[in-house]
Amino acid sequence: MLNIIDKRFRLFAISGVVILIGIISLVTFGLKYGIEFSSGSMMTVSFEQEVDQGDLKQELASLGYANAIVQHTGAGDFFIRTHELTGGDKAALEDALAAKFGHLTETEFYSVSPMIARETAKNAGIAVAIAAIGILLYITWAFHRMPKPFHYGTCAIIALIHDTLVALGVFSILGAMLNWQINLMFITGILAVIGYSVNNTVVVFDRIRENLTLGVSPDFEVTVNNSLVETLSRSLNTSLTTLLVVLALLLFVGASIQNFAVVLLIGIIAGTFSSIGIAPSLLVVWEKGEWGRFVRWLPLPAVKGR
């Protein structure tokens, strides 16, 4: 039988590396916030003629929008983000761009004032906090029947933090490289993913509980591994069908929903990985008191002797 638990420290290492890269990027580049959270204006314009992104950026800089973020989203289509524009500023900007690059149509304009941005950021923060509490309560309830509810709950929460860190890390890198932003849809996506990932973990843990009750094996490690393998095809299949539809969204709907689709994509992959490779393995580590192995490679004499 496939032995996943046996390779637990290799799986931890994979996650560790991904998260470490993410954290380095978060510390170095931070995150880029969308205008819902940081205020400003953005517009999608469509030029009839071919326009070079560099030229457009240069022209914006010469018009006093040196900080403008420009993204090329299609043939003559560009996405431009600036500080908050008033009606007059916007008309002047569009006239200037039309004079330089030829006729343009504005397909979308979006402007958020600092007051609204503050409110949105505050409420999104509250929502994330309530979601965290709600999920904690749910986990406490779901695991109260388990033999060591605290162990199961903690491992599920570590898996959840793992998924969030991976998504944040990837978005920090995407933000630094491609100016991808943390917007409302990102928050929505990440909450959906967290709910989804906890589900997967719960299903695996549920099977562990069932097998413990049945007394499948006296060895906890074997019981966990059996449960994992038994639920493996379910975990993978469910993730796969969800990934299929997310990919369809990403490929066919495109730029407007891309942040959302990508956070779902990353979250589902990370969530599947953590519910298979991280959460159950951590249970085994805890049960066997192997925490020392995480720091064994450090030059610490006290733990090295283990």
- Of 53, 67, 105, 179, the one binding other proteins (CB under 8 A) is 105
Burial class (CB in 10 A: 0-12, 13-18, 19+), 175: buried
- 123 contributes a contact to other proteins by CB under 8 A: yes
- Of 195, 211, 212, 292, the one binding other proteins (CB under 8 A) is 195
Binding mask 56-75 for other proteins (x = CB under 8 A): --------------------
- 214 contributes a contact to other proteins by CB under 8 A: no
- Of 146, 158, 176, 243, the one binding other proteins (CB under 8 A) is 243
Please report, as a single letter, which amino acid is at residue 74: G
Binding mask 280-299 for other proteins (x = CB under 8 A): --------------------
- Of 158, 242, 293, 303, the one binding other proteins (CB under 8 A) is 242
Q: Please, which residues bridge with residue 69 across strands?
A: 81
Are 76 and 47 spatial neighbours (Cβ–Cβ below 8 Å)? yes
Exposure class string for 2-34: b at 16+ Cβ within 10 A, else e: eebbeebeebbeebeebbeebeebbeeeebbbb
- Of 256, 295, 300, 306, the one binding other proteins (CB under 8 A) is 256
- 48 contributes a contact to other proteins by CB under 8 A: no
DSSP structural state of residue 275: I
- 248 contributes a contact to other proteins by CB under 8 A: yes
Are 11 and 288 spatial neighbours (Cβ–Cβ below 8 Å)? no
- 2 contributes a contact to other proteins by CB under 8 A: no
- 259 contributes a contact to other proteins by CB under 8 A: no
Structure-token match 């343009």, residue found: 104
Q: Which two tokens stand for residue 95?
A: 């006239």
122/199 Cα distance (integer angstroms): 27
- Of 6, 48, 55, 119, the one binding other proteins (CB under 8 A) is 119
| Binders in 133-172 for other proteins, by CB under 8 A | 134-135, 138, 142
When the beta carbons of 28 and 86 are compared against other proteins, the nearer one is 86
Q: How many residues bind other proteins (CB under 8 A)?
A: 69
Please report, as a single letter, which amino acid is at residue 275: S
301/25 Cα distance (integer angstroms): 32
Which stretches of the chain are assigned E, i.e. beta strand? 40-47, 69-72, 77-82, 104-112
- How far, CA to CA in Å, does 165 sit from each of 19, 53, 151, 182, 217? 6, 32, 21, 14, 35
- Of 147, 233, 291, 296, the one binding other proteins (CB under 8 A) is 233
Q: Is 273 left (phi over 0), alpha (psi -120 to 50) or beta?
A: alpha
Segment contacting other proteins by CB under 8 A, of 1-9, 129-137, 163-171, 217-225 = 129-137
Closest CB 194 distance from other proteins, rounded Å = 7
Neighbours of 257 (CB within 10 A): 15
When the beta carbons of 4 and 243 are compared against other proteins, the nearer one is 243
Residues at the interface with other proteins (CB under 8 A): 36, 44, 86-87, 90-91, 94, 105-113, 115-116, 119-120, 123-124, 126-127, 130-131, 134-135, 138, 142, 184-185, 187-188, 191-192, 194-196, 198-200, 202-203, 206, 230-231, 233-234, 237-238, 240-246, 248-249, 251-254, 256-257, 260-261, 264
